[in-house]
Amino acid sequence: MSHFCVNCGATLVPRVIDGRELEACPNDSFVLWRDPKVATAVVVEVEGGIVLGRRSIEPGYGLWCLPGGFVNDDEDPADAATRECLEEINAQVELTGLLGVYHIPKTGAPSMVGISYRGRLADGARLAAGAEMLEVRVFQLDSLPPLAFPSHERVLAEYLRSPARAEAGELRSGVATARHVSPPSRSRAQSRPPRRR
Ligand SMILES: [Zn+2]
Protein backbone atom coordinates (compact mmCIF):
# COMPACT_ATOMS: atom_id res chain seq x y z
CA MET A 1 0.00 0.00 0.00
CA SER A 2 1.30 3.45 -0.88
CA HIS A 3 1.74 6.10 1.75
CA PHE A 4 2.00 9.81 1.15
CA CYS A 5 3.98 12.71 2.59
CA VAL A 6 2.00 14.79 5.11
CA ASN A 7 3.89 17.90 3.94
CA CYS A 8 3.75 17.74 0.14
CA GLY A 9 1.59 14.74 -0.75
CA ALA A 10 4.32 12.94 -2.70
CA THR A 11 4.35 9.13 -2.71
CA LEU A 12 6.83 7.95 -0.08
CA VAL A 13 9.79 5.88 -1.20
CA PRO A 14 11.89 3.36 0.72
CA ARG A 15 14.90 4.79 2.53
CA VAL A 16 17.30 3.03 4.90
CA ILE A 17 17.84 5.05 8.09
CA ASP A 18 19.97 3.67 10.93
CA GLY A 19 19.75 0.22 9.40
CA ARG A 20 15.94 0.23 9.18
CA GLU A 21 14.03 0.34 5.96
CA LEU A 22 11.47 3.11 6.30
CA GLU A 23 9.30 5.11 3.94
CA ALA A 24 10.36 8.69 3.37
CA CYS A 25 9.50 11.65 1.17
CA PRO A 26 11.70 12.09 -1.94
CA ASN A 27 11.21 15.90 -1.72
CA ASP A 28 11.60 16.84 1.93
CA SER A 29 12.54 15.52 5.36
CA PHE A 30 9.30 13.64 6.16
CA VAL A 31 9.87 10.07 7.37
CA LEU A 32 7.07 7.66 8.26
CA TRP A 33 8.53 6.52 11.58
CA ARG A 34 7.01 3.35 12.98
CA ASP A 35 6.53 4.62 16.52
CA PRO A 36 4.76 2.68 19.26
CA LYS A 37 1.52 3.89 20.78
CA VAL A 38 1.58 4.51 24.54
CA ALA A 39 -1.09 2.98 26.76
CA THR A 40 -1.60 2.96 30.52
CA ALA A 41 -3.17 0.43 32.89
CA VAL A 42 -3.95 0.92 36.57
CA VAL A 43 -4.16 -1.67 39.33
CA VAL A 44 -6.62 0.06 41.67
CA GLU A 45 -6.37 -1.49 45.14
CA VAL A 46 -9.59 -1.70 47.12
CA GLU A 47 -9.94 -3.58 50.41
CA GLY A 48 -7.39 -6.27 49.62
CA GLY A 49 -8.66 -6.71 46.06
CA ILE A 50 -8.40 -4.86 42.77
CA VAL A 51 -10.86 -3.20 40.40
CA LEU A 52 -11.68 -4.73 37.02
CA GLY A 53 -14.19 -3.66 34.41
CA ARG A 54 -16.06 -5.91 31.98
CA ARG A 55 -15.83 -4.44 28.51
CA SER A 56 -18.86 -3.31 26.54
CA ILE A 57 -16.80 -2.67 23.40
CA GLU A 58 -14.44 -4.57 21.13
CA PRO A 59 -11.74 -5.68 21.38
CA GLY A 60 -12.48 -8.04 24.22
CA TYR A 61 -16.24 -7.49 24.50
CA GLY A 62 -17.58 -9.17 27.67
CA LEU A 63 -14.10 -9.80 29.11
CA TRP A 64 -12.51 -8.16 32.11
CA CYS A 65 -9.70 -5.63 32.00
CA LEU A 66 -7.82 -3.12 34.10
CA PRO A 67 -8.87 0.50 33.77
CA GLY A 68 -6.54 2.34 31.42
CA GLY A 69 -6.09 3.33 27.81
CA PHE A 70 -4.15 5.31 25.27
CA VAL A 71 -2.13 8.40 26.15
CA ASN A 72 -2.88 11.52 24.14
CA ASP A 73 -0.03 13.53 22.66
CA ASP A 74 -0.48 16.41 25.12
CA GLU A 75 -0.91 14.25 28.23
CA ASP A 76 1.43 13.02 30.90
CA PRO A 77 0.90 9.24 31.11
CA ALA A 78 -0.06 9.57 34.80
CA ASP A 79 -2.78 12.07 33.86
CA ALA A 80 -3.96 9.75 31.07
CA ALA A 81 -4.17 6.90 33.57
CA THR A 82 -6.36 8.83 36.03
CA ARG A 83 -8.50 10.23 33.17
CA GLU A 84 -9.12 6.70 31.91
CA CYS A 85 -10.08 5.60 35.43
CA LEU A 86 -12.64 8.40 35.57
CA GLU A 87 -14.03 7.37 32.18
CA GLU A 88 -14.09 3.62 32.76
CA ILE A 89 -14.80 3.08 36.46
CA ASN A 90 -16.23 6.55 37.17
CA ALA A 91 -13.92 7.06 40.11
CA GLN A 92 -11.20 9.51 41.03
CA VAL A 93 -8.07 7.40 41.49
CA GLU A 94 -4.83 8.46 43.17
CA LEU A 95 -1.78 6.79 41.72
CA THR A 96 0.51 5.37 44.41
CA GLY A 97 3.38 4.00 42.37
CA LEU A 98 4.75 2.85 39.05
CA LEU A 99 4.50 -0.89 38.45
CA GLY A 100 6.33 -1.26 35.18
CA VAL A 101 6.93 -0.31 31.58
CA TYR A 102 6.45 -2.91 28.86
CA HIS A 103 6.85 -3.33 25.14
CA ILE A 104 3.74 -4.91 23.64
CA PRO A 105 4.62 -6.14 20.14
CA LYS A 106 1.87 -6.16 17.51
CA THR A 107 1.70 -7.16 13.91
CA GLY A 108 -0.62 -5.29 11.57
CA ALA A 109 -0.92 -2.39 14.03
CA PRO A 110 1.58 -0.18 15.82
CA SER A 111 3.24 -1.91 18.75
CA MET A 112 2.59 -0.42 22.15
CA VAL A 113 4.50 0.76 25.18
CA GLY A 114 2.43 -0.10 28.23
CA ILE A 115 2.91 1.87 31.46
CA SER A 116 1.26 0.40 34.54
CA TYR A 117 0.58 2.07 37.86
CA ARG A 118 -0.76 1.09 41.24
CA GLY A 119 -3.50 3.30 42.60
CA ARG A 120 -6.27 3.59 45.12
CA LEU A 121 -9.67 5.23 45.20
CA ALA A 122 -9.67 8.83 46.33
CA ASP A 123 -11.58 9.51 49.54
CA GLY A 124 -15.30 9.13 48.97
CA ALA A 125 -14.90 7.74 45.43
CA ARG A 126 -17.33 5.03 44.39
CA LEU A 127 -17.14 2.61 41.51
CA ALA A 128 -19.59 2.72 38.62
CA ALA A 129 -19.38 1.36 35.09
CA GLY A 130 -18.36 3.92 32.47
CA ALA A 131 -19.67 3.92 28.91
CA GLU A 132 -17.12 1.32 27.75
CA MET A 133 -17.91 -1.11 30.58
CA LEU A 134 -20.81 -3.48 31.22
CA GLU A 135 -19.96 -3.60 34.93
CA VAL A 136 -17.11 -2.89 37.35
CA ARG A 137 -16.24 -5.05 40.32
CA VAL A 138 -13.64 -5.57 43.00
CA PHE A 139 -11.99 -8.99 42.71
CA GLN A 140 -9.95 -10.64 45.43
CA LEU A 141 -6.48 -11.58 44.22
CA ASP A 142 -7.08 -15.32 44.56
CA SER A 143 -10.16 -15.24 42.32
CA LEU A 144 -9.21 -13.12 39.34
CA PRO A 145 -11.05 -13.80 36.07
CA PRO A 146 -9.29 -14.26 32.70
CA LEU A 147 -8.49 -10.86 31.21
CA ALA A 148 -9.17 -9.42 27.75
CA PHE A 149 -5.53 -8.54 27.05
CA PRO A 150 -2.30 -10.51 27.52
CA SER A 151 -0.61 -7.21 28.42
CA HIS A 152 -2.99 -6.79 31.38
CA GLU A 153 -2.27 -10.39 32.47
CA ARG A 154 1.37 -9.39 32.47
CA VAL A 155 0.69 -6.28 34.56
CA LEU A 156 -1.19 -8.36 37.11
CA ALA A 157 1.53 -11.00 37.24
CA GLU A 158 4.02 -8.21 37.86
CA TYR A 159 1.74 -6.72 40.52
CA LEU A 160 1.31 -10.04 42.32
CA ARG A 161 5.10 -10.45 42.43
CA SER A 162 5.77 -6.88 43.47
CA PRO A 163 7.17 -6.38 46.97
CA ALA A 164 5.26 -3.10 47.12
CA ARG A 165 2.01 -5.05 47.27
CA ALA A 166 2.88 -6.23 50.76
CA GLU A 167 2.91 -2.60 51.82
CA ALA A 168 -0.56 -1.98 50.44
CA GLY A 169 -2.04 -1.81 53.93
CA GLU A 170 0.46 0.85 54.83
CA LEU A 171 -0.81 3.01 51.97
CA ARG A 172 -4.12 3.51 53.71
CA SER A 173 -2.33 5.31 56.51
CA GLY A 174 -0.50 8.61 56.18
CA VAL A 175 2.20 7.22 53.93
CA ALA A 176 -0.13 7.36 50.95
CA THR A 177 0.06 11.09 50.42
CA ALA A 178 3.83 11.08 50.33
CA ARG A 179 3.78 8.43 47.62
CA HIS A 180 1.28 10.12 45.37
CA VAL A 181 2.66 9.96 41.86
CA SER A 182 2.61 13.27 40.13
CA PRO A 183 3.64 13.65 36.52
CA PRO A 184 7.44 13.22 36.56
CA SER A 185 8.27 16.54 34.93
CA ARG A 186 6.21 18.50 37.41
CA SER A 187 7.41 16.67 40.50
CA ARG A 188 10.99 17.09 39.37
CA ALA A 189 10.41 20.78 38.86
CA GLN A 190 8.97 21.04 42.35
CA SER A 191 11.66 19.11 44.15
CA ARG A 192 14.58 20.90 42.54
CA PRO A 193 15.19 24.51 43.41
CA PRO A 194 16.17 26.58 40.38
CA ARG A 195 19.91 26.90 40.00
CA ARG A 196 21.67 29.89 38.57
CA ARG A 197 25.28 30.36 37.88
ZN1 LIG B 1 7.10 15.64 1.14
pLDDT digits (tens, 9 = 90+) for 104-149: 999 888 999 999 999 999 998 889 999 999 999 999 999 999 999 9
Provide the residue range defining the domain that includes 43: 37-182
Kindly indicate the confidence band of residue 177, based on its pLDDT and cuts at 50, 70 and 90: very low
For residue 137, being part of any structural domain is answered with yes
Q: Looking at the structure, do residues 85 and 3 belong to the same domain, yes or no?
A: no
Q: How far is the CA of 44 from the centre of ligand 1 (A)?
A: 46
Kindly give the distance from the C-alpha atom of residue 34 to the centroid of ligand 1, in angstroms, as a whole number. Answer: 17
Domain co-membership, 22 together with 91 = no
pLDDT of amino acid 180: 43
Residue 103 β-bridge partners = 113
The reply to whether 74 and 153 lie within a common domain is yes
How far apart are the CA of 20 and the centre of ligand 1, in A? Answer: 20
Q: How far is the CA of 74 from the centre of ligand 1 (A)?
A: 25
First-last CA distance in the chain = 55
Query: Is the same domain home to 108 and 151?
Result: yes
Q: Is residue 24 part of a domain?
A: yes
Which residues have CB atoms below 5 A from the ion given as ligand 1?
Answer: 5, 7-8, 10, 25, 27-28, 30
Report how far ligand 1's centroid is from the alpha carbon of 11 (Å): 8
Do 20 and 68 lie in one domain? The reply is: no
> How many domains are there within the chain?
2
Domain assignment present for residue 131? The answer is yes
Same domain for 96 and 137, yes or no, is: yes
Q: 184 C-alpha to center of ligand 1: Å?
A: 36
Contacts of 5 (CB under 8 A, 6+ apart): 11, 12, 25, 27, 28, 30
Q: Are residues 46 and 93 in the same domain?
A: yes
Q: What's the 7 CA to ligand 1 centre distance in angstroms? A: 5
131 contacts: CB under 8 Å, gap ≥ 6: 56, 87
Res 189 pLDDT > 70: no
Confidence band for 168, pLDDT divided at 50, 70 and 90: low
Q: Residue 76's pLDDT is what? A: 97
Task: Report the share of the chain in percent with pLDDT over 70.
Answer: 83
Residue 188 domain-assigned (yes or no): no
- Beta carbons within 10 angstroms of residue 188's beta carbon: 10
Q: Do residue 17 and residue 56 come from a single domain? A: no
Q: How far is the CA of 66 from the centre of ligand 1 (A)?
A: 41
pLDDT digits (tens, 9 = 90+) for 24-61: 999 999 999 989 999 999 999 998 899 999 999 999 99
Q: Do residues 90 and 5 share a domain?
A: no
Is 197 among the domain residues? no
Read off the pTM.
0.77
